[in-house]
Amino acid sequence: MPLEQRPVASPFGFASEARDVLAGIDLTGRTAVVTGGASGLGVETVRALARAGAHVIMPVRNRESGENVAAGLREATGNDAIEVADMDLADFDSVRAFADGMIGRGLKIDILINNAGIMATPERRIMGRFESQFGTNHLGHMLLAQRLAPIFAPGARVVALSSIGHRISPVRFDDPNFDNGGYEKWTAYGQSKTANALFALALNARLEPRGVTAFSVHPGGIMTNLQRDMSQDEIRALGWVDENGKVRDGFKTPAGGAATALWAATSPLLTAGGVYCEDCNVAVAVDAGEKAMSGIRPWAMDSEAAERLWAMSEVMLGEKLPA
């Protein structure tokens, strides 16, 4: 059965930025984990959490880059409790090692924001067999949440960054890794973003009984290094920038793009777990053929599809959610 998407009376919206959303919220004594925290939206996400007093952990693929960013954020926020750890979402042993390290420290995690991602990549494989966008954006993050689940604090929230790109494709259950050929980078991206939304729905169903909720979010259109696998000609052809490289109206700043994830991670107005959010509110459900650049499509809010994806992903990962 489909998920119910009911907007709430949020005081924030499209133009809200990270700092606005966390104004007046005290996260002192709380621990947050943010993937992709060393670039783009991740930097602004970490910055806002640290300003609110949180202890923030940034698992990163490039340790040197991560340490440089963290040092700047410590100075800018006055919060020394920003730390860097090694983790590569495309290397599942690395994900397991990071999670095991968190458990070994006796930490309790209050916020997990699955922010990292890749988009529109050439056909690549991770772990020798998984299509890279599905494998990195979905499987790596699912494994991370699975492994960290035993140390989620009561009241913890998990936020998965999906995208309006989910409208491109449902999960291709018959061939998620394009093993039968026909790879198309936008279809692969769309599938991975649908998978992020369905993951949050399925995770929430498992953890909400113990007071842990999960959400998915569309951060909005933002020009960051997420576009690193796209040429400038392609970006211009899509109308994202003009011939002079100026970003078109309707795109958000990185701080604006971080706002919805932070809202989902902290807002007291958000009580229904599993929902898909955009512009600092619960998104509305729209029909499959809707052309608008907003709302959630039916295939990304289907609880049966979420369970099917969960089961398929557990087989791929060889992991079950810890009790």
Domains annotated for the chain, with CATH where assigned, are 18-317 (3.40.50.720)
Candidate list 98, 134, 152, 189, residue with the active-site label:
189
Q: Are strands 281-282 and 276-278 parallel, antiparallel or unpaired?
A: antiparallel
Burial of 17 (0-12, 13-18, 19+ CB in 10 A): buried
- 183 labelled catalytic: no
Classified as helix, coil or strand, 59 is strand
Other Cβ atoms closer than 10 A to 35 = 26
Give the per-residue pLDDT at 288: 82
Mean pLDDT by 10 residues, the chain (323 residues): 82 96 97 96 97 98 96 98 98 98 96 95 96 98 97 98 95 98 96 98 96 96 64 64 68 93 97 96 89 89 97 95 70
Give the per-residue pLDDT at 1: 46
Q: Distance of alpha carbon 62 from its chain centroid, rounded?
A: 19
Distance of alpha carbon 273 from alpha carbon 22, whole angstroms = 20
Q: How many residues does the chain have?
A: 323
Distance of alpha carbon 218 from alpha carbon 280, whole angstroms = 9
Token pair for 196? 């992020």
Give the per-residue pLDDT at 294: 86
Alpha-carbon distances, residue 30 vs 3, 108, 119, 266 (angstroms): 30, 8, 31, 11
**pTM score, whole prediction:** 0.94
Distance of alpha carbon 164 from alpha carbon 54, whole angstroms = 29
Q: Which helix (H) or strand (E) holds 314?
A: helix 303-317
